[in-house]
Amino acid sequence: MRFGALSRITAVQIEPFPRGVLEIFLSQFEKSCPEPPEIPEADLSSVDSKLVHSLMPFQREGVNFAISRGGRLLLADDMGLGKTLQAICIAAIYRKEWPVLVIAPSSVRFTWAQDESHFLKNMKTARSKAARPFLQAAKRLILLSGTPAMSRPAELYSQITALRPKLFSNFHEFGLRYCAAKQFPWGWDYSGSCNLLELRLLLLESLMIRRLKSDVLSQLPAKRRKMVLVEPEAVSVKARAALEAAAKEMTKDHKTVGVS
């Protein structure tokens, strides 16, 4: 755009950076190192040696990141990359501060398999309101989610404020910066998204670590299969019906293979 065109603009709206965002990024500019410094190796001498030796290199990096962030982080690795194992190792490092509180859906409380902190995505739900005081007051906090909603920033706000309550003054400030907030006669709409690259950089620098399977493929072992025996009487009617329907669908697909 030429200067003449700029001179004809009668009003310019300047949107300031949130204070917390400025503090995160300014701390990086102040460092003399042109490249991000390596995360120091965490001291795992207090952790069971079998657990430590079972960690793959990228999982060890996840543990190092957690300790470098004071034990407060969003562990957002892709599904199947061992978030639970990393979380157990991180918790073991802080064993002197136990007990540990594990919050998970009731249906998986014994296996701790469904590690989805994005269940907190709606900050107005009773679940989020009940969890928020505990999460913010905890000295250490490990949120696990394999599917962080980067394309829907509004759903990340509860998790961000649980880890860093002072990063943003309020949700409206966050919404203006990252949710393309729009005002209508009935109120504000925060369902959009904007400045996503900035948000991603902010999260990766301050509280989140995320690796995809494609990033660490060379470190992954061969597929591990596990057979689980289930008593038919223990399967609910609803679950049994769903399994039977799936079996019929698979059988139908199998029969149609090779049919011209």
Under CATH, which number does the domain 16-223 receive?
Answer: 3.40.50.10810
Report the mean per-residue pLDDT for the chain.
Answer: 82
Cα 29 from chain centroid (whole Å): 26
Greater confidence (4 vs 101) lies with 101
What digits encode the pLDDT tens for the residues 103-126? 877 665 655 544 456 567 667 777
Asked if omega into 16 is within 30° of 0 (cis), the reply is: no
Q: Is the pLDDT of residue 259 over 50?
A: no
Burial degree of 21 (CB within 10 A; 0-12, 13-18, 19+)? buried
Residue 158: pLDDT over 70: yes
**What per-residue confidence (pLDDT) applies to 257?**
45
Contacts of 71 (CB under 8 A, 6+ apart): 90, 93, 94, 139, 140, 141, 142
Q: Enumerate helices (H) and strands (E) in the chain, giving the number of each.
A: 10, 5
3-state secondary structure 159-206: HHHHHCCCCCCCHHHHHHHHCCCEEECCEEECCCCCCHHHHHHHHHHH
Beta strands in the chain (DSSP E): 72-75, 141-144, 182-184, 187-189, 208-209
Share of residues in the chain with pLDDT > 70 (%): 80
For residue 75, the cross-strand partners are 144, 209
The beta-carbon contacts of 176-181 under 8 Å, at least 24 apart in sequence, are: 176/15, 177/15, 177/17, 177/18, 177/21, 178/153, 179/153, 179/154
Read off the pLDDT of residues 48-70 as tens digits, 9 standing for 90 and up: 999 999 999 999 999 999 999 99
**Mean pLDDT computed over 83-93:** 94
Q: According to the model, what pLDDT value does residue 260 have?
A: 38
